[in-house]
Amino acid sequence: MRIIFMGTPDFAVASLKALLDNGEHVVAVVTAADKPAGRGQKLHESAVKVYAQEKGIPVLQPEKLKDPAFIAHLKSFNADLQVVVAFRMLPEVVWNMPPLGTINVHGSLLPQYRGAAPINHAVINGEKETGVTTFLLQHEIDTGNILLAHKVAIQEQDNAGSIHDKLMIAGAETLIRTIQGLREGSLKPIPQDDIQVSELKHAPKIFKEDCKIDWNNSTEKVFNKIRGLSPYPTAFTYLADKVLKIYEASQEISAVHVPAGNYITDGKSYLKYATNDGYIHLLTIQIEGKKRMSIQEFLRGFHFTETN
């Protein structure tokens, strides 16, 4: 099969690599346009572009996916199938182009967690498992017929970063099984409406205001939010009127002796914030204007005022 691959970040590179390692014929790659980044505002190339160029695969970087010139260029590759992993929403003229359609690899067990941030929301909600799903694109985002799904456990020590890495590998493996199934004709697409769920959970894009911790919540809910936003975009609170990002924490369920949102510290080894039913111990943090550090390293250099 002639395959066009569409993706941008590291998460997508694993699937592209798996296709090539499996001997699939990837005729072109579509990825995001280069963008200025960093202090020098140098043009940054996507991880997928860098990898594709290393492998000598033609790279397309359209600004607009409905651009007639891009559409014509895409058609010229005569692809049998398109594969999308961590890319943008495609117009129908693109996803409906190849005879076998377009496969998307999504980081959740659909129909749960449709949207831009499925990994974050699954961990934030305290799920015990998530997974990857391959499905055929159609009009509504993340609603196409399911081809294959693979479950991945979420452990208490996991955060969004570790689940991202697990799903990156699982997604690549599931994609290869999906393509093999399509080639053999052994896959029967399943409409998502045929899958019964008690409550449909969504995974919308996360904005900065979504990352602020509400200490009036339960210890477990705050703990899950911290790990669901770590290492990016990162949960935050305030300390001495400065933004305090929390990358790693632990939970303590116990009687609370200070109002929710207040902290207790010995100034040397621990700093914990009160919730409505316990405390969150901060373990790895970054205060505004400083580097990321352990709580012990932070406490050695931070001067607390009397106000809490």
103 forms beta bridges with 83, 136
Class of domain 208-301: alpha beta
Q: So what's the pLDDT on residue 304?
A: 81
C-alpha 30/C-alpha 43 separation (Å) is: 17
C-alpha 121/C-alpha 200 separation (Å) is: 13
Q: So what's the pLDDT on residue 214?
A: 98
| 208-301 has the same fold as 2-194 | no
Q: So what's the pLDDT on residue 306?
A: 55
Q: How many CA atoms lie within 13 A of 308 on its CB side?
A: 12
CATH of 2-194, one of 1.10.268.10, 3.40.50.170, 3.40.1160.10, 2.40.50.180: 3.40.50.170
Q: So what's the pLDDT on residue 308?
A: 54
* Parallel, antiparallel or unpaired: strands 59-60 and 25-30: parallel
Query: In 3-state terms, what secondary structure has residue 307?
Result: coil
**Global model pTM greater than 0.75:** yes
For the chain, give every domain's residue range.
2-194, 208-301
- Cβ 159 vs Cβ 123: under 8 Å: yes
Q: So what's the pLDDT on residue 36?
A: 82
- Cβ 272 vs Cβ 263: under 8 Å: yes
Q: Residue 108 has which token pair?
A: 């959740």
Q: So what's the pLDDT on residue 39?
A: 72
Instruction: Name the stretches of the chain with pLDDT < 50.
Output: none
